[in-house]
Structure 1
């Protein structure tokens, strides 16, 4: 894909990390597709949510930023399948857990949006 597409996905991911750190559903709504599929694949904690249910959970949590959690996040891979679909693998730590996210992005109304968020987590090893 173009350097512009790559830069747009990197910017989206910065917003993603910030929205999660701040537990701010308004920020996250700007990068999620309206038909988001949220999937927790952690054994014993499997979960499947839609956008509204996930945003309600975000709104109900204490922001990691307010808790004083240090930010620890990285984009591990960005892969483009076409000018309409991409995949991002990312990791982050928050709320005492290490997360591995597999995000599928689609171009929606001219902008990249996360349409699936499938992830797993482990207790954080300090």
Structure 2
């Protein structure tokens, strides 16, 4: 893929991490596809949500930023399958948990959007 694609996905991921840290659904809507599939794959806590249900959950949580949590995240891998399909593996720590996200991105118009967020978590280390 082009350097522009890499830059766009990097910017999307920065917005994604910011939106999660601030628990701001308006920010997150800028990165998610309207047909988002949200899947928690943690054993015993499996969950399958659509965009609106997930955004309501985000709106109902206390933002990690307000609790004084420092941002702790990284993009582990970005893989482009075509000019319209990419996958991102990322890790983050927030709300007392270490998360591993596998994000599927598609072109939505002229922009990259997350169409599937599949993740698991373990309790964070103190």
The answer to whether TM tops 0.5 is yes
Partners of 2:25 and 2:56 in 1: CA distance: 8
The corresponding residue for 2:2 is: 2
The TM-score with structure 2 as length reference comes to 0.99
Unmatched segments (≥5 aa) in structure 1: none
Aligned residue pairs: how many?
A: 126
- Structure 1 residue 46 corresponds to structure 2 residue 46: yes
- Aligned counterpart, 2:117: 117
SS at match of 2:70: coil
Matches within 5 A, 1:1-126: 1-126=1-126
**Cα offset for 1:70?**
1.0
The offset of 1:47, in angstroms, is: 0.0
User: 4+ residue stretches of structure 1 with deviation over 4 A?
Assistant: none
Unpaired runs of at least 5, structure 2: none
| Alpha-carbon shift at residue 22 of structure 1 (Å) | 0.2
* Aligned mates of 1:71, 1:25 — CA distance in 2: 17
CA distance in 1 between partners of 2:117 and 2:57 (Å): 15
RMSD of aligned residue pairs (Cα, Å):
0.3
Output the TM-score relative to the length of structure 1. Answer: 0.99
What do the CA deviations read for 1:39-65 (whole angstroms, capped 9, x no partner)?
A: 000000000000000000000000000
| CA apart distance, 1:3 | 0.2
